Amino acid sequence: MSDNVGLSTPRGSGTSGYHTLSRATGDRGAPYAARDLERHRQRQPDKGILEHERKRAVEVKVFELRDKLEDEGVDEDEIDKQCDAMRKDLLAKQEKNQGGTEPRKGLKMHQVHELADAKIKESERLRNALKISKDYEEGGHWKRQEERLRKAVDRDNAADRDKEGVIS
């Protein structure tokens, strides 16, 4: 044990003896609930990584074709022609489908940027379907309702003051 961190002996404790700080109160000591008030920001995917994965998928298919043709004993020039044609065709299909709104299925958990991109597109479709404006702020309805109530109370107070002034 060093620097008074952890248990003097972890024996029988069921732990490794390593001590970590509780993150429930946050790094700055702010209550946990205070961070809930912050506006949610959706993770933005890295466009460079998405482009790289897109090109990589094309090259994998082209390599599979090249491998198959080499196993069949096709001439090297013919292999290059077929691979180039397939590459152009696949890239053209992807460019045409780039702005596609169909949901992507079969994404793995390690495909963070692809998942974030799919989530953004899904949220956009839902927002459009429900006709929610882009500048919508969560809880804005309650703020407006509270403001209307406050104005009504102010008007009533002003009216009461005017009546008192007229009566006295």
For residue range 27-61, list pLDDT tens digits in order. Answer: 555 555 555 556 666 778 888 888 888 899 899 99
The answer to whether position 77 is within a domain reads yes
Phi-psi region of 150 (alpha: psi -120 to 50; beta: other; left: phi over 0): alpha
pLDDT category of residue 64 using cuts at 50, 70 and 90 = very high
* pLDDT over 50 at 63, yes or no: yes
pLDDT tens, residue by residue, 66-82? 999 999 988 999 999 99
Global pTM reads 0.47
Predicted local distance difference test score (pLDDT) of residue 100: 55
Q: Which of 4-18, 55-69, 126-140 holds the top average pLDDT?
A: 55-69
The answer to whether position 10 is within a domain reads no
Asked if 112 and 46 count as a contact pair (C-beta separation under 8 A), the reply is: no
Q: What is the domain count for the chain?
A: 1
CA distances to 66, 67, 73, 90, 106 from 60, rounded to whole Å, are 10, 10, 20, 11, 18
The answer to whether position 88 is within a domain reads yes
The answer to whether position 53 is within a domain reads yes
The answer to whether position 16 is within a domain reads no
- Boundaries of domain holding 54: 47-129
Predicted local distance difference test score (pLDDT) of residue 148: 92
User: In the 3-class helix/strand/coil scheme, how is the chain assigned residue by residue?
Assistant: CCCCCCCCCCCCCCCCCCCCCCCCCCCCCCCHHHHHCCCCCCCCCCHHHHHHHHHHHHHHHHHHHHHHHHHHCCCHHHHHHHHHHHHHHHHHHHHHCCCCCCCCCCCCCCCHHHHHHHHHHHHHHHHHHCCCCCCCCCCHHHHHHHHHHHHHHHHHHHHHHHHHHHHC
The answer to whether position 110 is within a domain reads yes
Residue 111 CB neighbour total at 10 angstroms: 17
How much is the average pLDDT of 126-140?
84
- Check residues 146 and 168 and name the one with the higher pLDDT: 146
Asked if 7 and 1 count as a contact pair (C-beta separation under 8 A), the reply is: yes
* pLDDT over 80 at 22, yes or no: no
The answer to whether position 54 is within a domain reads yes
The answer to whether position 62 is within a domain reads yes
